Amino acid sequence: MAKREIETLYQGKHLQLQKRRHWEFASRTQGTGVVAIVAVTTDQQLVLTEQFRPPIQKKVVDLPAGLAGDIAGEEQESFESAARRELIEETGFVGETFEYIFSGPSSAGMTTEMIDFYLACDVEQVEEGGGDETEDIKVHVIPMKKIKAWLKRKETSKTCIDPKVYAALGILSLYTS
């Protein structure tokens, strides 16, 4: 096998397990990337989601997020469009301005997946949210002044906090005042 050649070890509906030389990793079979949205209301509240995640058998508090280009007929969807779609689908919130912040790996040693982060300020809730028919998402809107204590209370043996939430707090400290 050549240095850069990839061998597919397993192909599933949503994921494939691949190998490059000695390194095994996962890749998505659908979509062009992942978007995560740091959504803040006009009164400085952070919009978060919570849902059960079967791989870790826990509920996870996370940013609104999802795949770009995973809908049939919309394979060329822009990442910003995906961010807007995911925010309203998961939370019921909309925002006028979405600012691209950065892109980075979700788990560089395990997957090819990259996440594009967007900042959406002054978002407003126009629907209930909760996700699509395959999701059961609870929406949380937490005042920034109380977020640290709220996250500490929320982390239990049955619920964990995705590190993207902490990345969001760093983003907010750099991009808002």
CATH number 3.30.70.20 is the correct assignment for the domain at 33-175: no
- Domain parsing of the chain, residue ranges: 1-30, 33-175
> For residue 68, what are the contacts with CB-CB under 8 A and spacing of at least 6?
31, 32, 33, 34, 35, 77, 78, 79, 81, 82, 116
**What's the distance, Cα to Cα, between the start and end of the chain in Å?**
52
> For residue 155, what are the contacts with CB-CB under 8 A and spacing of at least 6?
161
pLDDT in tens, 28-61: 998 889 999 999 999 999 999 999 999 999 999 9
Average pLDDT, the chain: 94
Model pTM score: 0.92
**Cα 145 from chain centre:** 23
Regarding beta strands 159-161 and 58-62, do their DSSP bridges make them parallel or antiparallel, or are they unpaired?
parallel
* pLDDT over threshold 60, residue 2: no
